[in-house]
């Protein structure tokens, strides 16, 4: 029988509910429990797929094609499990499902209400993740206690304990305990008010996680314990960490996982924790002292969360190269023939991430041109591959004015296009190619060597493809189409054999990178960047990671 943990937040948004939930997932999995995770989002959008990245950060894509909240990326990276699209439910999805049932007559003509119909649908979404192969389902409730949008979700999780049994449900509440410098003390009033608000919805928290930039003293824990009616060992101090990957260890030292196990009556003695693998990761991070400067040339650089998985993937690869990756944010609109030298010459590598829309496209093309001509290691992701193809077509393959029909419907050389069914793409513009697809790599190619195999699978999120009608001209001009769909119709990877690392993929490999298992393409980029940096300064990376360890 599955156990359920619900993580709520109070006082302020962006305190780190997702990282708290992810850290607990890592700790329970390190004890041998089978863990899965879920995010309940109160916004009315059906999913974040059509939301501006400035509104909600990146859209994280699951293997089965779900466009989900970026917190699912944290979940997957921490617990190392591929989550289904069912692991993210929004108010829009909940109401849509209920209305479809009402139209079918499933409610037999009864009045449809928030209680029980909406709350029952929320509970159904969470229970779908449970089963004989899952010991613990950890669910993060988005938003902040007190928000009007969150009320149905709180009511639904309140009902869980009554229906599943007290020993099968644990409520974790994350709050802010601010430190006021003028008075030289922490203030617990925000936490008290937040817990009072949660109790007014019928939920008494079992664990209170206190976010602060400084450790919470034992005296303060006793005060919160007394005023909020939780055991003192269930008041957990969560201070700022230098890396998000330190959080599980810090929270274990606070007894977070042991307390949750006790509440859920999970046998700690039969499941002793083993954090050795995670601690080895932290050791690698500590040894990453040589800096590599990697530029991300994108549209949304003012909001780093828009490229969260890309950043984490670069860091993962850096740890294993004994490199500290320093991200240089470069607005695509700022790059042109005149500025490219200034913006890119001091970098060790660049990433051209995915995106939609025309803004910044010519800047990305200018960046790609400079990187190709100056042997700067480059990795193009999704739209990144497409601008690499456009640049190569214009400047090498003698196709002046080449473009994607997304940006120029009248281009004389539509090297990127919405393809018809005869060319193998079922998408006609109404939907996207979403989720995991296989690709066959060319033996001996750079990408095949990087992966160590010739049949791979990666997650996709795009509408446009390399135009099969013009592929021959591109290849004749030297562009290596080093990975194709299994039927040979769609280009999945490109590369230049003469370049240190100039690779593009139609996929989003950043979604499957893990901190202790970096993705092959990011490792290839970072290795090439380290080689370039070492050529500039021979003392960099002279030991190598294995020797350092």
Annotated active-site positions, please? 382, 508, 510
d(CA 126, CA 7): 13
Residues 6+ apart with CB under 8 A from 226: none
Say whether 300 sits in a helix, a strand or coil.
coil
Residues 6+ apart with CB under 8 A from 267: 261
Rg (CA), the chain: 25
Helical (H) or strand (E) element with 457: strand 455-462
Tokens encoding 304:
């780093």
Residue identified by tokens 């989720």 is 435
Is residue 234 a contact partner of residue 223, using CB atoms and an 8 Å limit? Answer: no
d(CA 527, CA 471): 29
| Neighbour-count burial of 116, counting CB atoms closer than 10 A to its CB (0-12 exposed, 13-18 middle, 19+ buried) | middle
Residues forming a β-bridge with 61? 67
Strands 207-212 and 235-239: parallel
Residues forming a β-bridge with 41? 90
Is residue 6 a contact partner of residue 171, using CB atoms and an 8 Å limit? Answer: yes
Of 23, 11, 41, 38, nearest to 173 (Cα)?
Answer: 11
Q: CB 539: neighbour CB atoms within 10 A?
A: 7
Strands 403-404 and 455-462: unpaired
The answer for 519, left when phi > 0, alpha when psi is -120 to 50, beta otherwise, is beta
Give the distance, in angstroms, between the CA of residue 49 and the centroid of all CA atoms in the same chain: 14
Is residue 212 a contact partner of residue 238, using CB atoms and an 8 Å limit? Answer: yes
Q: CB 279: neighbour CB atoms within 10 A?
A: 12
Helical (H) or strand (E) element with 228: helix 218-228
Tokens encoding 320:
């294993």
């Amino acid at each position: 029988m599955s156990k359920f943990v619900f993580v709520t937040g109070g006082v302020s948004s962006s305190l780190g509910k997702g990282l708290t939930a992810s850290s607990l997932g890592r700790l329970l999995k390190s004890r041998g429990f089978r863990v899965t995770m879920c995010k309940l989002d109160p916004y009315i959008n059906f999913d974040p797929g059509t939301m501006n990245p400035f509104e909600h950060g990146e859209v994280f894509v699951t293997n089965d094609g779900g466009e989900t909240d970026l917190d699912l990326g944290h979940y997957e990276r921490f617990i190392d499990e591929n989550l289904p699209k069912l692991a993210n439910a929004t108010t829009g999805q909940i109401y849509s499902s209920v209305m479809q049932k009402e139209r079918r007559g499933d409610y037999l003509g009864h009045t449809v209400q928030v209680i029980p119909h909406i709350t029952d649908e929320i509970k159904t979404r969470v229970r779908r993740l449970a089963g004989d192969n899952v010991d613990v389902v950890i669910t993060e409730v988005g938003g902040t206690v007190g928000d009007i949008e969150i009320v149905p979700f709180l009511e639904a999780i309140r009902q869980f304990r009554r229906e599943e049994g007290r020993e099968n449900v644990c409520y974790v509440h994350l709050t802010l305990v601010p430190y006021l410098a003028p008075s030289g003390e922490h203030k617990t009033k925000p936490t008290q008010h937040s817990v009072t608000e949660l109790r007014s919805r019928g939920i008494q928290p079992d664990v209170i996680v206190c976010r602060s930039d400084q450790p919470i003293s034992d005296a303060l824990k006793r005060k919160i314990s007394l005023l909020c009616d939780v055991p003192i060992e269930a008041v957990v101090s969560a201070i700022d960490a230098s890396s998000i990957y330190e959080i599980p260890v810090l929270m274990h030292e606070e007894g977070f996982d042991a307390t949750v196990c006790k509440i859920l009556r999970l046998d700690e003695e039969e499941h002793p924790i083993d954090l050795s693998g995670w601690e080895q990761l932290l050791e690698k991070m500590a040894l990453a002292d040589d800096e590599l400067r990697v530029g991300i040339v994108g549209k949304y650089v003012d909001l780093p969360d828009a490229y969260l998985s890309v950043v984490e993937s670069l860091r993962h690869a850096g740890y294993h190269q004994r490199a500290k990756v320093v991200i240089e944010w470069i607005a695509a609109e700022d790059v042109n023939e005149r500025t490219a030298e200034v913006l890119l010459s001091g970098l060790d590598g660049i990433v051209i991430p995915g995106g939609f829309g025309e803004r910044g496209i010519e800047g990305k093309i200018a960046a790609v041109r400079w990187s190709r001509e100056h042997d700067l290691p480059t990795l193009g992701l999704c739209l990144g591959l497409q601008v690499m193809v456009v640049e190569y077509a214009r400047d090498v393959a003698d196709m002046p004015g080449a473009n994607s029909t997304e940006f120029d419907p009248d281009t004389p050389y539509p090297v990127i296009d919405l393809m018809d069914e005869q060319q193998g793409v079922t998408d006609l513009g109404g939907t996207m190619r979403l989720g995991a697809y296989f690709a066959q790599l060319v033996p001996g190619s750079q990408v095949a060597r990087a992966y160590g195999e010739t049949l791979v699978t990666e997650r996709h999120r795009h509408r446009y493809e390399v135009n099969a009608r013009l592929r021959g001209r591109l290849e004749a001009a030297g562009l290596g189409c080093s990975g194709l769909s299994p039927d040979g119709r769609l280009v999945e990877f490109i590369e230049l054999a003469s370049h240190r690392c100039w690779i593009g993929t139609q996929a989003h490999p950043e979604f499957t990178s893990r901190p202790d298992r970096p993705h092959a393409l990011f490792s290839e980029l970072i290795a090439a960047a380290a080689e370039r940096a070492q050529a500039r300064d021979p003392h960099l990376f002279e030991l190598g990671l294995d020797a350092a360890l």
